[in-house]
């Protein structure tokens, strides 16, 4: 009689190979949460910049900080990825690109395009 294993099974998430569509979907959700969480700071900066000349200068000073620049790159990635993946999902909803090959191609296109556009933004910020 075989003995049953009672110990919990260790699931190593780094060894699981996700398809491109899954990565796009998970990143779409993560980028949406990050955009939502960054809204208070972005609204504060907008409010500060609209208070007058001194407020605008303070907002520009905030944006010159290295940590804020790094955060702006993360916000840019999340905005770009969320936008591109959202367009992809809307096209799939209306029946465009629903075949397996088209879905894989569009998922890779979204992931690569968001990364390249973020790199372009990074070059512009620096």
pLDDT digits (tens, 9 = 90+) for 35-94: 999 999 999 999 999 999 999 999 999 999 999 999 999 999 999 999 999 999 999 999
Q: Which domains does the chain have, with CATH numbers?
A: 20-125 (1.20.1300.10)
pLDDT band of residue 31 (cuts 50, 70, 90) is very high
Sign of the Cα torsion 51, 53, 58, 63 reads: positive
Rounded CA separation 81/84 (Å) = 5
């Amino acid at each position: 009689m075989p003995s049953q294993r009672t110990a919990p099974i260790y699931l190593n998430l780094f060894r699981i190979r996700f398809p491109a569509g899954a990565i796009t979907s998970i990143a779409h959700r993560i980028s949406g949460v990050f955009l939502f969480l960054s809204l208070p700071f972005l609204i504060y900066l907008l409010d500060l910049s609209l208070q007058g000349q001194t407020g605008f200068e303070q907002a520009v000073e905030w944006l010159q900080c290295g940590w804020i620049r790094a955060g702006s790159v993360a916000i840019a990635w999340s905005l770009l990825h969320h936008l591109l993946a959202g367009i992809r999902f809307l096209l799939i909803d209306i029946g465009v690109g629903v075949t397996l090959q088209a879905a894989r191609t569009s998922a890779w296109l979204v992931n690569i395009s968001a990364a390249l556009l973020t790199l372009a933004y990074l070059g512009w910020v620096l």
